[in-house]
Structure 1
Amino acid sequence: MAFSDYITRILIYTIVSYPIVGGLSFIVSSLYYWLFLERKDMPRYLEKGTPFITILVPAHNEEASIESTIEHLEE
C-alpha cells in the first residue's frame, strides 16, 4: 500500500466518522447534563416543578414604572 493511499484512507475515515463521533458525544453530554446538572441550574422556586401559571405584562417604554408593577405582582 502506497503512502498516499494510506493518507487518503485516513482522511476518508476521519471525514466519515467525525459527524458520528460528534453526534454521539452531543447525545452523551446532553444526557449527563439532564441527569446530573439540570436540577442544580433551576431557580429555587422551580425545585418542586414548573409553575402552573404565567403572567404576561405588556410593557413598552415603561422604564419608569415597570419596577413598581413587578413588585405589585409579586405580592
Structure 2
Amino acid sequence: MCRSIKTLRPPMTPHVEDEDIRAAAVQYVRKVSGFHHPAAHNEAVFDQAVSAVAEATRRLLDGLEVRGPSGPE
C-alpha cells in the first residue's frame, strides 16, 4: 500500500528517530486520506491523525521483541 514507508524495526533500521516515525505516519495518512496536503478546513484532523499514527507506531516499535539473527551484515 504505502511503498515509500520504510521498515523501522530493528535490525532493519537500527536507529529509529522520531522524525522517521513521523515521516512514516505522514505517508500513511496521505495515502489513506488521498490528500498530499490537506485543505485548511481539514488540516487539524489531518495533523491529529498523523500524531495518532506516530504514537501507535512508537508503541509498536517499543513493544516488539525481535528474535533470531541480528539482520543483514
Q: TM-score, normalised by structure 1?
A: 0.31
Q: Relative contact order (alpha carbons < 8 A, sep ≥ 6): 1 or 2 greater?
A: 2
Q: Which has more radius of gyration?
A: 1
Larger helix share, 1 or 2: 1
Q: TM-score, normalised by structure 2?
A: 0.32
